[in-house]
Amino acid sequence: MKIAFYAPLKSPSDPTPSGDRRMAGLIRAALRVGGHDPILASEFRSFEGKGDPTVQAAIRVRARLELQRTLAQLARQKPALWFTYHLYYKAPDWLGPEIARRLDIPYVVAEPAHAPKRAAGPWAASHAAVEEALRQADAALCLTSLDRACVAPLLRNSDRLFDLPPFLDPRLYASAGGERARHRRDLAVETGLSTEKHWLLAVGMMREGPKLASFRELAEATTHLPGEDWRLIVVGDGPARAHVAAAFAGDPRVVFVGRRDEADLRRFYAAADVAVWPAVHEAYGMALLEAAAAGTPVVAGRVRGVPDVIVDGVTGFLAEPGRPADLARKVRDLLDDDDLRSMLGRQAAAFVARERNLDAAAERLDAALARARRR
């Protein structure tokens, strides 16, 4: 089935890496596994992050022009369904609902978010657009239990709600995990790190807002993690890099390696002993799932959708939000127990390989699309 695919927050072809772009690409891959043809309907970005009505109005004007262009294009391509990935009050879908009505095709959304507190205020119009889109949706696929609870009341009936837990293609991560010793040796040469130390790994974009808040909380957690038996490897870059570096106050146990591509990231995941991330306001954390897929146990904040990615006590540990000392204590528990660390790592890789793979996602997607088309 030909599907018109659209991501209003960030196109899967956007050059800037992020978890959002990653998941958009993975959903398209899972649709292909299911035998579908997800064509990119538009690269129009509706995101407005500051609550500026003037900017929002300008986006609406551009959206009307883009709607006409996209409609003309799709009239020739004849998709059987419209699929929007990740709409929320800062990035509403100004295209999909209207185009689906005009072409008389089902309208499906994945990773929708609904925040009732935004009904008034600077994003009120965008919030209303999200509500309208959800009421029209023939199927809504939620990636976390938190989103499910907020989205369900807006759907016309409960059988339009489907679960699509975060997923990836675990094969490359499992392959990297199988060569842990080699990756560890190679990275030790490249970074100057000692293989005699425990390696902690933090992966995140360095930008203002929740990401910077996570790095600052992580920096505080390291002050509760005494000793010289560990090193923290920080992967990532961005406009807030100076602030991130300042948060760690020149701690020699912290090593910054900059932004890395996916192949390099898999080596770091595989080589690390523990992945750690406070996950301040994190939707769910693709980097956490990637680390687990490589067989590395994770310690993360018990925040929003993170429990949908990390199974506490099975694939890692969840720490209480806003308590860096608790994060550090759980990291220390893993560093001090080689058997526990190995067991959680094995269980993490098995969990992802069994339940969070492309085939499982393709089945969930296909069930939702079939139900939407029957309507």
- DSSP string computed for 266-334: HHHHHH-SEEEE--TT-SS-HHHHHHHHTT--EEEE--TTGGGTS-BTTTEEEEPTT-HHHHHHHHHHH
Give the pLDDT confidence of 211-253 residue by residue, as tens digits.
999 999 999 999 999 889 999 999 999 999 999 999 999 899 9
With vertex at residue 341, the alpha carbon angle to CA 338 and CA 346, rounded to the nearest 5 degrees, is 125
Spatial CA neighbour of 83 closest among 188, 150, 154, 12: 12
**Structural domain boundaries in the chain:** 2-167+357-374, 170-355
367: pLDDT strictly greater than 90: yes
Give the pLDDT confidence of 44-92 residue by residue, as tens digits.
999 999 999 999 999 999 999 999 999 999 999 999 999 999 999 999 9
- Quote the CATH superfamily of domain 170-355: Glycogen Phosphorylase B; (3.40.50.2000)
Q: Do domains 2-167+357-374 and 170-355 have the same CATH topology?
A: yes
Which fold is adopted by the domain 2-167+357-374?
Rossmann fold (3.40.50)
| Calpha distance 117→124 (Å, rounded) | 9
Give the pLDDT confidence of 244-264 residue by residue, as tens digits.
999 999 899 999 999 999 999
Please say whether the beta carbons of 23 and 111 come within 8 A. yes
Q: Which residue has the higher pLDDT, 296 or 16?
A: 296
17: pLDDT strictly greater than 80: no
Mean pLDDT of 187-207: 96
| Residue 274 in tokens | 């523990």
